[in-house]
Amino acid sequence: MLKGKDMLSIHDLSVDEVQEILALAKELKAKQKAGVPHKILKGKTLGMIFEKSSTRTRVSFETGMYQLGGQALFLSNRDLQLGRGEPIRDTARVLSRYLDGIMIRTFGHDRALELAKWADIPVINALTDLLHPCQVLTDLLTIEEYKGKNLKGLKMAYVGDGNNMTNSFLYGCAKVGMTFVAATPEDYRPDATVFKNALEDAKETGASLSLVTDPYEAVKDADIV
């Protein structure tokens, strides 16, 4: 269902696709722990563009590709012409000839969108200033594992500023039917367009999304904080 598709935002995924990702991740994790071969990406190469460095993102993507039988290539600004003024479209076209997928961790979300527009291969958003979808999908899987039941109906409270994680939690919780309450300062709320989109997504699953300023109100009766 997801073959050949970009992963830029959880909002772009259907409810079934989110469930498919979580189910496959659970299956592959079990196989890894049991020592069962699962080289489903044998012969595939992922280019990883890091305009914003991260220990955990690099290690997790490289390890994941290795465990799945593929190869990961670390590409910093020093390794790409992007760091010397080459347009994103040219980098996307060149990398598409060599690679099977591109992961990008960058600043403005528009850079990830432009890369995906010009690339002929799938592009994965490993973090932009607006969204952090891979992290939220991982968190949802962890919650499912710890709670031992379906995510639908569980309440998550978030306390902090309305950043890329808050935005992606809005999308993620909407897609799986959770209740999500974000307590943020009035001037640090999540992106207004993201919140509007997430409310539309929530109509399909019955999820409840709300924004408050009082952390105590947010965490009341929460299953996850």
pLDDT in tens, the chain (225 residues): 788 899 999 999 999 999 999 999 999 999 999 999 999 999 999 999 999 989 999 999 999 999 999 999 999 877 776 656 778 999 999 999 999 999 999 999 999 999 999 999 999 999 999 999 999 999 999 999 999 889 999 999 999 999 999 999 999 999 999 999 999 999 999 999 999 999 999 999 999 999 999 999 999 999 999
Q: How far is CA 120 from CA 123, 128, 141, in A?
A: 9, 21, 29
- Separation CA 32–CA 35 (nearest Å): 5
| Confidence (pTM) | 0.95
- Separation CA 77–CA 111 (nearest Å): 14
| pLDDT at site 24 | 96
Q: Is 43 left (phi over 0), alpha (psi -120 to 50) or beta?
A: left
**Token pair recorded at residue 155:** 């309440």
The closest of 196, 163, 198 to 180, measured between CA atoms, is 198
**Token pair recorded at residue 69:** 């039988």
